Amino acid sequence: MNRIRVLLPILWLALPAYAGYRELSDEVEGYQPPLIYNDSQRETAAEQPQGTEQNAAFAAQITALREEQKRWQSALQERAPAEAFFIPDRGELARLDGTAKDSSAAGSALVDGYRLPTLETLVWLRNPGIHAATRRVQAALQQYDQAANLDEILRQYQAFTEGVMPGVGPMKGREPAQMKFPYPDMVALKGQVVNQEVRAAVESLEIARRDALTMARKAHWNLGFLGEALRLTGEMERLLGDLLAVATTRYESGKASFQDVVKVQIALDTLVEERNTLREKRSNGFAMIRRVLALEPGIPVGAPALQTPPAPVPELGGLQALARERRQELRRLDAMIGKMDRMVSMGEVRLHADPTLNLSLYQGEEVLQAGTARMQEPYAGTTSAALGLGTPIKAWYGSGEAYLRETREKLGALREQRRDLEAMVQLQVREAWFDLDQAAREQALYAGSIVDLTGTALEVSTRGYETGNVMFADVIASYTTWLQAHLSAERRRADIGVARAQVAAVVGVDVFGSE
């Protein structure tokens, strides 16, 4: 009874304190922030992706990388991009589209009498070197994802882990400001490096297309010459057969010596062997076409139609200026220089001092920086020993400085290599232009007068020999001259086509097309 009397006053004094604690607890649990705070939070949530706190700059850079990747992919899907070395005819592309993976269909398209645009389109669709270069461009495009994914994963990790610390309310702003705002932005630099890498791969693709098309064009014109050479040697074989009959008749009648018969027979046997050589050369040309188109050895390839390429020769200065702008090797080297230049910038950002010491960056860590129990100061008031007077801004930067100097030297070497390559390109254009000019002039000479004169000389000497007014040595010389003149005229015509293909290759632009 006495114990109860003692406890009652104590309980009477504790009741107000307990009631106050319950009111405080209810107030804390039922706390609602002001309306203005809720409105600002809703606006922020609407502007930012759910579950992440990526800043606008980082999101814009990632978006830029994705857009650049899509742009390159769209350009790669176009079969005839604007700055391609060669733009195939759309009608030919539609007609031959089924030959891309069907060797039999490709062989059927190369029957006797096919024209150069058909061969060019088949090369565009079937050449393995072009396909390999296309896959390399696709591989280079994957580097855009590599450039963005690491930073994206780190951002997601920060978003998932920034609220794990216990405390009152969500722990916003745990991501360091230095990670959000590097200077200059590393994500942008990485994107530029990848862009230059893709540019180099695209130029390599154009080189593969250019080389395959040039090889096919040269084979086409050489096959045209070989077909005409076989026709001319066949006609000469018939003429020498007639001459052999005349020489035999004159020998039997005692009007000519046996040496005339022997000389004609020697010339005839030599011509037969030359025809065999021409047939084998033409077989080599067919094998070259199969190689460019990746056709099986058993698939036949027909002879191309006889075409006469246009003879006008473009102005040399214009070709050289165009080569400086469009030659694929120069543009690829420019991309490599641009890539290494960005790599130097990235190295300088990581090794050298920033423009500011970032002493006033606000980290947004209010809970850790507020109150009497704060764990850190809101702003840096001192610098570390490594940042003292006379010491490097970034400690241990010297361990990577040697690699940065190496990269700078390699960049300088690339620039010198570019100068040397440009000089070589100018020489190549000059030599290719000379070959075209020479072939055009000589073809006009042979086709214009020499061929007609040798035909007249052959006819006159043959009739004179039959009547005994012309020596046999002059007769056989007129036959040889006739054949050489006709073969030279056909060779020069083919040389015009070959030289045009070479000019287009060294300039880097299909300046002639499939005329």
Q: What is the pTM for the complete model shown? A: 0.74
Q: Are 403 and 344 in contact (CB under 8 A)?
A: no
The tokens for 408 are 């700078």
Q: Is residue 47 part of a domain?
A: no
What span, in angstroms and rounded, lies between the C-alpha atoms of 362 and 172? Answer: 13
Q: What is the pLDDT of residues 279-312, one digit of tens each?
A: 999 999 999 999 999 999 889 999 998 888 887 8
Q: Are 75 and 134 in contact (CB under 8 A)?
A: no
Q: How far is CA 293 from CA 135, 221, 270, 394, in A?
A: 18, 16, 35, 58
Mean pLDDT of the 423-448 span: 92
Mean pLDDT of the 392-413 span: 73
Which residue range is the domain that position 244 belongs to?
53-163+170-350+394-507
Question: Which pLDDT does position 425 carry in this prediction?
Answer: 95
Q: What is the pLDDT of residues 159-186, one digit of tens each?
A: 555 544 444 444 444 445 444 444 446 7
Q: Please tell me the total count of domains within the chain.
A: 1
Tally of CB atoms within 10 A around 26:
10
Task: Tell me which residue of 432, 410, 435, 396 sits closest to 506, measured CA to CA.
Answer: 432
Higher local confidence (pLDDT), 214 or 51: 214
Task: Tell me which residue of 404, 397, 401, 400 sits closest to 343, measured CA to CA.
Answer: 404
Q: Are 256 and 250 in contact (CB under 8 A)?
A: yes
**Neighbour-count burial for 484-500, b at 16+ CB within 10 Å, e otherwise:** ebbbbbbbbbbbbbbbb
| Angle at 28 (CA atoms; ends 26, 33), nearest 5 degrees | 125
Q: Is residue 417 part of a domain?
A: yes
Q: Is residue 244 part of a domain?
A: yes
**Neighbour-count burial for 208-223, b at 16+ CB within 10 Å, e otherwise:** bbbbbbbbbbbbbbbb
Question: Which pLDDT does position 148 carry in this prediction?
Answer: 64
Task: Tell me which residue of 304, 305, 327 sits closest to 511, measured CA to CA.
Answer: 327
Question: Which pLDDT does position 250 carry in this prediction?
Answer: 79
Instruction: Mention every residue, 6+ apart, whose C-beta is less than 8 A from residue 161.
Output: 174
Least confident range from 25-34, 86-95, 174-183, 478-487: namely: 174-183
Least confident range from 19-28, 312-321, 335-344, 437-446: namely: 19-28
Q: Are 251 and 278 in contact (CB under 8 A)?
A: no
Q: Is residue 316 part of a domain?
A: yes
In the block, tokens 């461009």 appear at 137
Q: Is residue 26 part of a domain?
A: no
pLDDT value at 515 more than 90? no
Mean pLDDT of the 452-456 span: 87
Question: What CATH number did the domain enclosing 105 receive?
Answer: 1.20.1600.10
Question: Which pLDDT does position 22 carry in this prediction?
Answer: 63
Q: Is residue 264 part of a domain?
A: yes
| Angle at 143 (CA atoms; ends 141, 149), nearest 5 degrees | 125
pLDDT value at 461 more than 80? yes
Q: What is the DSSP letter of 450?
A: I
pLDDT value at 371 more than 80? no
Which pLDDT band, with edges at 50, 70 and 90, does 447 fall under? confident
Average pLDDT, the chain: 78
Q: Is residue 1 part of a domain?
A: no
Higher local confidence (pLDDT), 51 or 135: 135
Which pLDDT band, with edges at 50, 70 and 90, does 21 fall under? low
**Three-state DSSP class for 306?**
coil
- Percent of the chain exceeding pLDDT 70 equals 67
Q: Is residue 480 part of a domain?
A: yes
Q: What is the pLDDT of residues 188-233, one digit of tens each?
A: 777 788 888 888 998 999 999 999 999 999 999 999 999 999 999 9
